[in-house]
Amino acid sequence: MKIFKLLPALALITAISFTSCTPKDADIKASVEKSLKDNPATAGVLVMVNDGVATLSGEVTDDAAKAESATKAGAVKGVKSVVNNTTTPAPMVAPVVVSPDDALNSSVKDATKDFPTVMASVVDGVVTLTGSITKASLPKLMMGLSSLHPKKIDNQLTVK
Amino acid sequence: MALQDKYMTLTEAATAAGVSNLQVREQDGIMYLDGTAPSGAVKDQLWNKYGELDPNFSSGDLVMNINVAMDASVTKVKVMTDSSNLNIRKGPGTDQPIVGKAAHGETITLVSKSNDQWWLVRTDDGEEGYAYARYLSAE
């Protein structure tokens, strides 16, 4: 029966001994930060550690750096798991380049030459179509004009 | 973003059909869809889809520039006019003098692609000049 009385004390001792050989969150945080400092790509990652769970945040240069952050953090002693909230910058979107009117004027002339019922004008990159066209020929005309890098095709054609 | 919603099924179809370098951009109320289709059939399929979403292409809110991928090793192209001969011109432009003609259905040599619209070609008779690329297709 004595053993049962001792159980809470045993549990307490066990808990204390486990705590003492597990690094504290603050120490883990410092170790993770140290390991991420080695690479400039991951040096800016923000680290938080709570009960051995390391949460990473902030922006890294690319996906490789993101993966490396998680791998390095996971390898640090005392880290039970890693939550990787680091982000990568959104890909750069190049602005749409519209052909200058001079170039567009001559290329539109070429593209509409074989559609004698179609009139085309170019102003500030906008190609305005007037006149008429058959339903069957319309996609061909539009395909041709769309490849000339216009700002817009204002199609006012009567489709027969 | 409303435009990208309107044409979402088009963008999805392009992705599903394997269009490479696909770019979807929106600028000043117009959507620009650019990419390279693996075949002419895929390009036609996407234009059909576009025609369903915007009958007669009359909204003026999309510029769809889909090229067809062409193997760099292609040296022979076929004249794809409706029925007439294809003009071969001294320079790239319809204002340039005509230096020769290629018959409808004839296969001619592709010398180089000067730009997207005009290709430098040579007929079997040795006539060399620029022809409008819309009427040429890879053998």
Tens digits of residue pLDDT in A91-129: 777 889 999 999 999 999 999 999 999 999 999 999 999
Do B63 and A93 lie within an 8 Å CB cutoff? no
pLDDT at residue A118, rounded to an integer: 96
Greater confidence, A77 or A23?
Answer: A77
Tens digits of residue pLDDT in B66-97: 998 888 788 899 999 988 999 999 999 999 99
Start-to-end Cα distance in chain B: 40
* Option in A140, A147, A154 nearest B116 (CB): A147
Distance in Å, alpha carbon of A153 to nearest chain B alpha carbon = 5
Mean pLDDT of chain A, nearest integer = 88
Do A140 and B134 lie within an 8 Å CB cutoff? yes
| Token reading at B8 | 């979402």
Ranges of chain B with pLDDT below 70:
1, 139
pLDDT at residue B76, rounded to an integer: 92
pLDDT at residue B1, rounded to an integer: 61
Residue written as tokens 């290629």?
Answer: B102
* Option in B60, B67, B116 nearest A155 (CB): B60
* ipTM for the predicted complex: 0.88
* A9 pLDDT more than 70: no
Cα–Cα distances (Å) from A66 to A38, A77, B105, B130, in that order, read: 14, 20, 56, 51
Q: Where are any strands of DSSP class E within A5-63?
A: 46-50, 53-57
The H or E element spanning position A139 is helix A138-146
Check: pTM over 0.80? Answer yes or no: no
Q: Which residue of B has its CA nearest to A157?
A: B58
Residues B120 and B114 sit within 8 Å (Cβ to Cβ)? yes
